[in-house]
Chain A
Amino acid sequence: MLDDQGNLSIDFLAGMTIFMIALIWISTMVPGLLITLQGKTIDYDAVAYRTGAILVEDPGWPASPPWDNLNDLQKGDIQRFGLSITKDTPNVLSLHKINRFFCSTAFSYPSDYQSRLIFSNFQYLFNISLSTFDRTINESLGDVKPDGYGHIRRYIKIKYPSNTTILAPNYLNSGVSGGLSDNTTTHVFSVQLNCTQLIWDETNVAYQINPLTEQIMVNISNLNNACIFNPCPPNLISLSSIKIYRQNPSQPFGQVREYLSSDPQFNVYIDGSNTPLPALDPPSVNVNNNVSVIFSPGFFFGMASDSSQMYVNYTFTLANPDNFFNNTFTTPYHYDYNPVRVTQPLLKEGVLEVAVW
């Protein structure tokens, strides 16, 4: 007996085939639909790892001049944050880059950091903290960490820049052959930055003194003990000018800058004051004991090269003629790799943590 029980109709097969094709096609899209939900834990760790690697192993972009030399108005030119000194020195970070990176007045969390560090369409939140083992630096930015987040911890060394302290009584004018400027009222002291020697005598940038990219600090102290009869009489010493001169192989020796007023990259501090000297043009400024000059990273970048010799000339005026702090008739004070004269760059250990969620 013939009947149609058990026969599978063509309609059913066609419908089933279409259904299966559709099911497979949709199923292949499921991971994409769930990636923001299911893949979070793993994705967070990957983003944290990448962020940590950028911060610790990359100098950032632009590299020349470095991004940390750009001021707040130029922050739109910064394409990528990175704290390393150069790409050849992973884990050795620049102190100035760290200070700029954690500056809350210059950069807003999270928008400025998401576009220059996290690099993702997904709006990750994060917390980045950095501290030295001796806790002299303890910086943090971002939100409070929730329960579940991706994480990476990196160990670092921070390069502290060089500085020099010049004891004025060690550089008196007396005793100079011929006494050309003994007992005069105007005295000039010169500090030399030989960029060629500084950059090529030490090729390891972790220990290099590089005036083009790093802070240079010159402290002159004990000025009130630099007279014939010490201490110097009150109101005797005035600072008249601080001028920068340049000598290049292809250019004549000449003045390139003078301290006229406070500048973000060129600041003068008198007698231990915490605020920069507002102006020095004219009159001269009374000094009792100390003059500190800080050239921020990048100050010399536009005016010097690795073949330049830069001179910082201080002119002091005295109310009465006297022997005083003066090296006009000897040699300039060399800012170099002699640890007796200059406190050399120093690396300090620390830890950096990145949490992403």
Chain B
Amino acid sequence: MVNSDGQLFTIEGISAGLIMLLTAYIVVNTTSIYTPGDTHISDMQLEQLGSDALRLMNTPNTSATSAESSLQKIIINNDTAQFSNTFLWFCNSTTSGTNDNLQFTADLYYRDKNTNSVNKIHLTQTRNLIGGEHPVRVTEWVHLNSNGQVPVNNREQAVLVEVLLWRD
């Protein structure tokens, strides 16, 4: 005996499936465009703050031919307390209202001429970086042309200051 049971349900099922797939596609397509930018904006703002702070610490206030930047002086004298004060002074300052409250940990990378290896010195930090934090990384190359307490063979060279910066 011939009847049409099944034929009806198959075609309805296919139609309904197509509609659901299209709907899902449209929903996903219209909502996903906002997600990437949203997650990176706070990182971008933090990176900009840290990058500006290091750049300005590495810019002398008077003629560059005779003056050293505060970052150069800090590294030459190994003055980690001054690094902390100056860096936070830059990063937390605002034009009005309460100051920001950022945390950081800073390291110094240099090449050891004797062993021809890149070594790291921990400069300073506000507190330990724990697993739940989401830091951004900012760096600044610093040119050193005088002798100092940094174990870098007392020679003219460039060292890299790396700061991990995060917000509480």
Question: Hey, which bits of chain A sit against chain B, CB under 8 A?
Answer: 1-3, 5-8, 16, 20, 23-24, 27-28, 30-31, 38-39, 41-42, 45-46, 49, 52, 90-92, 129-131, 133, 138, 140, 151-157, 202, 204, 206-207, 337, 344-349, 351-353
Tell which of A7, A52, A202 touches B4, judged by Cβ atoms closer than 8 Å.
A7
Determine the residue in chain B with the shortest Cβ distance to A204.
B64
Total residues of chain B contacting the partner, CB 8 A = 44
A5 engages B4 (CB within 8 Å): yes
Determine the residue in chain B with the shortest Cβ distance to A44.
B41
B63 engages A352 (CB within 8 Å): no
A45 engages B62 (CB within 8 Å): no
> With A5-B4, A7-B7, A46-B37 known to touch, is A153 a contact of B56 (CB < 8 Å)?
no
Determine the residue in chain A with the shortest Cβ distance to B18.
A20
Tell which of B5, B44, B52, B61 touches A155, judged by Cβ atoms closer than 8 Å.
B52
Residues of A within 8 A of B56 (CB): 91, 155-157, 349
B19 engages A6 (CB within 8 Å): no
Majority DSSP secondary structure for residues of B touching A? helix
Tell which of B11, B34, B63 touches A39, judged by Cβ atoms closer than 8 Å.
B34
B61 engages A348 (CB within 8 Å): yes
Answer yes or no: B15 CB below 8 A from chain A CBs.
yes
> With A31-B33, A42-B38, A351-B95 known to touch, is A346 a contact of B62 (CB < 8 Å)?
yes
Give min CB distance, A16 to chain B, whole Å.
Answer: 7
Give min CB distance, B51 to chain A, whole Å.
Answer: 9
Q: Which of B86-94, B133-141, B159-167 contacts A (4 or more CB under 8 A)?
A: B86-94
Within 8 A of A (CB), among B28-46: 29-30, 33-34, 37-38, 41, 44-45
Q: Which 8 A-B pairs have the closest CB atoms?
A: A6-B8, A155-B52, A129-B95, A6-B4, A27-B26, A207-B63, A347-B61, A131-B95
Within 8 A of A (CB), among B3-25: 3-9, 11-12, 15, 18-19, 22
Determine the residue in chain A with the shortest Cβ distance to B26.
A27
A133 engages B93 (CB within 8 Å): yes
Answer yes or no: B129 CB below 8 A from chain A CBs.
no
Give min CB distance, B73 to chain A, whole Å.
Answer: 15
7 extra interchain contacts, Cβ-Cβ under 8 A, other than A49-B45, A92-B59? Answer: A1-B3, A5-B4, A6-B5, A6-B7, A46-B37, A207-B64, A344-B62
What are 9 A-to-B residue pairs whose CB atoms are below 8 Å? A8-B11, A38-B34, A39-B34, A41-B38, A91-B56, A133-B89, A155-B52, A204-B63, A347-B61
